[in-house]
Amino acid sequence: MKKKSILVAASVLGLSLLTACNSTDNKSQAESTGDSGVRTIKVATGHTSKPLSWVDENDEVTGYEPELIKELDKVLEDYEFELFGVEDSAGETGVATGKYDMLAGGLGFTEERAEQYIIPSESSGRALIKIYVAEDSGIEGIQDLVGKKISPLSPAGATYKTVKDWEEENPEFKLEYDLADVGIPIADRLKEVATGKYDALFYPSSYGQIEIIEDQKLPVVGLDPVKIIPTFFMIHKSEENEELKQAIDEGLKELAEAGVLSELSTEFYAEDVFQYD
């Protein structure tokens, strides 16, 4: 009796392992055997960065960057794009190792990235560093923030660098702020500005601020961007991907001229991020 139950357990385990293997094998087979001439590009993108890129209720990867990739898929006949929603760090590691061919993560150009990846010449979007203040604060720009309470800045990332660069260029203004990697959701940080805990918050505008402010009826406004950073897709460094880079450049140019980028921006960020250029 005991032996029998062990046997049953073992076979159930074996079977489930087999089915697990099978289901994934089929998929990888389908991926590798594309139609002749059409190359399938695996694109990693964030899965929890709404509205930049996220996985929606129907398990569909969507957002500004994924929808842009889908538009590229339509205009580039020699390529087919497959989207993978993963953590940012997994995306970057995967593109560096070649697990994915491309990363759509709203990343800006840096020398380090240019060394590690192929970066297209055409940018895919804009990251805007904005200041969020209470509607009646009277603050109109960064120079008005002297002596004000500024929400802590994350030491990593473009926001801190933007503020620091501005301070270096304008030594007559002295801003006071703490550095902290705050894991507080953006909705709560905007509320802190609304309630007066802080007078101002520096933040990239691509986190759905306009929608949050409208939904929660917060008396907060975003000022014109302090900095406009063009963002790029990052492509895995390899010889065959040089051709991909050319194609991406052509595709992005075509889409930008047709106004598709601005349309997508208005759809996902509730404003045209290219208007500040």
Partner 1 sequence: MTLETGMQELLMEFLKTLPINIIIIILSAALGLLFAVLLTFVRLKRIPVISQLADLYVSFARSVPGLILLFIAYFGIPKVLPLIGLGTYDISPMHAAIISMGFYHSGYISEVFRPAYLAVEKSQHEAADSLGYTPMQKFFRIILPQMVPVALPGYGNALVYLIHDTSLIFAIGIVDIMGTAELSIARSYGTNQILIYFIIALMFSAMCFTTDGLVRKLEKRVAIR
Residues found near partner 1 in the complex (CB under 8 A): 13, 16-17, 20-21, 24, 27-28, 31-32, 47-50, 54-57, 59, 84-87, 89-90, 93-94, 97-99, 184-188, 207-208, 211-212, 216
Residue among 95 and 158 whose Cβ is closer to partner 1? 95
Nearest distance in Å: CB 243, partner 1: 21
* Distant-in-sequence, close-in-space partners of 77: CB < 8 Å, separation ≥ 6: 38
Nearest distance in Å: CB 87, partner 1: 4
Nearest distance in Å: CB 265, partner 1: 18
Nearest distance in Å: CB 215, partner 1: 8
Residue among 97 and 172 whose Cβ is closer to partner 1? 97
Residue among 92 and 122 whose Cβ is closer to partner 1? 92
Nearest distance in Å: CB 62, partner 1: 10
Residue among 261 and 268 whose Cβ is closer to partner 1? 268
Distance CA 34, CA 37 (A): 8
Closest CA to 51 of 270, 272, 276, 242: 270
Phi, psi of 130, deg, nearest 5: -120, 165
Residue among 218 and 255 whose Cβ is closer to partner 1? 218
Residue among 48 and 246 whose Cβ is closer to partner 1? 48
Nearest distance in Å: CB 24, partner 1: 4
Residue among 32 and 171 whose Cβ is closer to partner 1? 32
Nearest distance in Å: CB 142, partner 1: 25
Question: Helix/strand/coil (H, E, C) string of the chain?
Answer: CHHHHHHHHHHHHHHHHHHHHHHHHHHHHHHHCCCCCCEEEEEEEECEECCCEEECCCCCEECHHHHHHHHHHHHCCCEEEEEEEECHHHHHHHHHHCCCCEEEEEEECCHHHHHHEECCCCCCEEEEEEEEEECCCCCCCHHHHCCCCEEEECCCCHHHHHHHHHHHHCCCCCCCEEECCCCCCHHHHHHHHHHCCCCEEEEEHHHCHHHHHHHCCCCEEECCCCEEEEEEEEEECCCHHHHHHHHHHHHHHHHHHCCHHHHHHHHHHCCCHHHHC
Residue 250 Cα distances to 49, 74, 260, angstroms:
27, 13, 14
Residue among 28 and 36 whose Cβ is closer to partner 1? 28
Nearest distance in Å: CB 253, partner 1: 31
